[in-house]
Amino acid sequence: MKAFSYERATSPADAASKAAVTPGAKFIAGGTNLLDLMKLEIETPSHLIDVNGLGVDKIEVTNNGGLRIGALVRNADLAADERVRRDYGLLSRALLAGASGQLRNKATTAGNLLQRTRCPYFYDTQQPCNKRKPGSGCSAIGGVSRQLAVVGASSACIATHPSDMAVAMRVLDAVVETVDAKGAARAIPIADFHRLPGEAPHVDTVLKPGELITAVTLPNPVGGKHIYRKVRDRASYAFALVSVAAIVQPDGSGRVALGGVAHKPWRVEAAEAELPRGAKPVTARLLADAKPTHDNAFKVTLAERALARVLAEARS
């Protein structure tokens, strides 16, 4: 790990302003992703700004009946919150499907959204990777790509976003709240928060330099059956090959998003009109632009079967 300096911020605006004027600065909270990347020298921040003392660690009811989740709320606490379990069961289930109990006790809401891909070539510093070193090439294209993207990828990157929580947030239409170096607040719909790779896969989100996540807001609860199904190689502590987050109403309508298939949680609202007809037409529209590799073409079929299982569970 390379040497770095360290300080504690006193407020969200203070943290954002410090990051904006300090080249190579990074925020640190739980550190469950950043510290691993620093040990491998994939991330080499020259300065760390500790944001744990900013007080943004509460879950509060909003004026319109939704929930405002502080950026520093730990994943374990969010999954266990009675209001989340009762009104946003999809989110609780997605959180409990991720990582391990020890990591969920440390990982934060904001950090979960910002975690970086688990593509093996991203983690192998001996291999070219446009996400790690822009312009160096993508070793995954033509390499081992079993776990990687089948849709939304580009000629520069076929990595996937690893978060379970973000897939549930996408179905729930969450909004990410931020503050910038000047103290200005911004509200970013989760649909717009993560970027597709294009020609700049090293830029994961639409956050500006120094911009700090302060909270994630959930709108009014959505009724119906909340289901999160994660298909993976191991029963625990493994990232999704395919995951399905769905809210299904008694008449068969609803919302659905996929994880493990793209650079961001994958939701195509137009496909949801097909839900009463079953998994096959929904998946056909969700993955209409899929360009799988030889290694991961199975994900298209796997997504359809996982969604079929979810719809069957919703009807039972």
From edge to edge, which strands make up the β-sheet containing 185-189?
59-61, 67-70, 212-218, 175-179, 185-189
Place 303 in a pLDDT band, splitting at 50, 70 and 90.
very high
**pLDDT, tens digit (0-9, with 9 covering 90-100), for 112-167:** 999 999 999 999 999 999 999 999 999 999 999 999 999 999 999 999 999 999 99
Cα(105)–Cα(113) distance, rounded to whole angstroms?
16
> What is the reported pLDDT for 96?
97
Question: Is residue 187 exposed (0-12), middle (13-18) or buried (19+ Cβ within 10 Å)?
Answer: exposed
Cβ-contact 253, 117 below 8 angstroms: no
H or E element, residue 255: strand 254-259
Give the pLDDT confidence of 170-182 residue by residue, as tens digits.
999 999 999 999 9
Residues in the chain: 316
Q: How far apart are CA 114 and CA 73, in angstroms?
A: 14
Determine whether 198 is exposed, middle or buried from the number of CB atoms within 10 Å of its CB (0-12, 13-18, 19+).
middle
**Threshold 0.95, pTM exceeds:** yes
